[in-house]
Amino acid sequence: MTENSRLPAWEGRLGHTGITWPFTPAGAKQAIADIAAVGYTGVELFGFVLDKYPGGLEAVRSDLAAVNLSYVSSYCSLSLVDPDLHDDDLRAIRRWAGQIADLGGSVAVVGPNQRTHENYSPEDYARAATTLNEVGAVCNEYGVAACFHPHTGTPVETTEEITQVMDRIDPAVVSMAPDTGQIAKGGGDPVELVTTYRELIKHLHLKDYIGGHSTVDWEGAHNDRTGYLDYVPVGDGVVDIAGILDVLGPEWPGWVMVELDGTEQSPRPAVDAARTSKQFLDQLSGDGQDAGAGERVQS
C-alpha cells in the first residue's frame, strides 16, 4: 500500500462516537451537531439514549439531516454472561437493532456489562459466545451486523478473555468491533489484535491511550491521569494509530469511529477533543508521514 493510502479511501467512512458528550438526549443532540461541524461524516450513539430521545427516531433523523450526518451504529451494552438476564438481552437487542435499521445504520456494537465478580469460568465465556450468536441472529433479521466489542472493566478485557469468546463465536452471525484504546488499557497490543482478527472486524473504535498501568475504573475514580479515564485524543497517546490503519488497509469496508471517553473532569470541550483527533488523522493522510506516537504499546 502507498504511504498516502491510510485514510483517503475512508473519507466518507470516518465518524465519531457520542461517548465524549453527556449520556443524555441533550448530550447526543449536541454530539450530532459538533461531530458534523468538525468534519466527520457519521455518528454512533448509545442504544439507551435513542430509547429516550425526545420526539423518537423521527427527531433523530431530523437532527442528522440538518447537518448531513449519517447514523452508523449504536453501542449496545448487554450482560451476555448472566443467564437470568438472557431474555432481557435479546429483547433489548431486538429493539436496538430495529432502531439502527430505521436510522439507516448498519452495526450494533455489542459490549458486555461491567464485571460483577473477579473471576469468570470457561462456562461463562461459552455462555457469552452462545448469547452473542443469538444476538447476531436477531441483528441479521434487520440487516444489521452484530460486532462484539471487548471492554475494560468487563468479563472480556484481556487478550486471553477475548480469545475465549472469539474462539467460540459463529463468524457467520457475529463480527468484531475492537476498541484500540480499550485493548491497550487492558494490557494487549492493538496492532496484534487487529492483525489477528482482521477478517472478522467490520467496525473499529479508534481510541488512544496515555500508556502505562491504569488504575482508573470505568466511573473515573482513583487516578485518572487525563480526565478521559486515561484515554487521550487520537495521536496524543501510545497507540500505533498508523500501524492499525495500515493493517486494515484502504480496501477494508468498515467505518472508523474515533472515540474518546468523557467525564466531568474532561480538560476541554468535547468538540475540541474531537477536532484534535480529526486534525491528527487529516495530517496522517495528508502528508503520508507516520504521525503516530513515538512509544508503541506492546503486549
Per-domain boundaries in the chain: 3-287
How high is the pLDDT of residue 208? 98
- What confidence tier does 295 reach under pLDDT thresholds 50, 70, 90? very low
Judged against a pLDDT cut of 50, whether residue 297 lies above it is answered with no
Judged against a pLDDT cut of 70, whether residue 5 lies above it is answered with no
How high is the pLDDT of residue 250? 86
Judged against a pLDDT cut of 90, whether residue 8 lies above it is answered with no
Q: Which of 22-36, 195-209, 273-287 has the lowest mean pLDDT?
A: 273-287
Residues 65, 96, 151, 106, CA torsion sign: negative
Q: Phi/psi of residue 169, each to 5°?
A: -75, 160
- What confidence tier does 226 reach under pLDDT thresholds 50, 70, 90? very high
Judged against a pLDDT cut of 50, whether residue 228 lies above it is answered with yes
- What confidence tier does 291 reach under pLDDT thresholds 50, 70, 90? very low
The model's pTM: 0.92
Q: Phi/psi of residue 17, each to 5°?
A: -85, 165
Question: What is the mean predicted confidence (pLDDT) over 169-183?
Answer: 97
Question: What is the mean predicted confidence (pLDDT) over 85-92?
Answer: 97
pLDDT tens profile 108-138 = 999 999 888 888 999 999 999 999 999 999 9
- What confidence tier does 293 reach under pLDDT thresholds 50, 70, 90? very low
How high is the pLDDT of residue 289? 42
How high is the pLDDT of residue 218? 59
- Domain 3-287's class? alpha beta
CB–CB of 77/111 below 8 Å? yes
Residue located via cell numbers 439531516: 65
Per-residue 3-state assignment (H helix, E strand, C coil) for 214-235: CCCCCCCCCCCCCCCCCEECCC
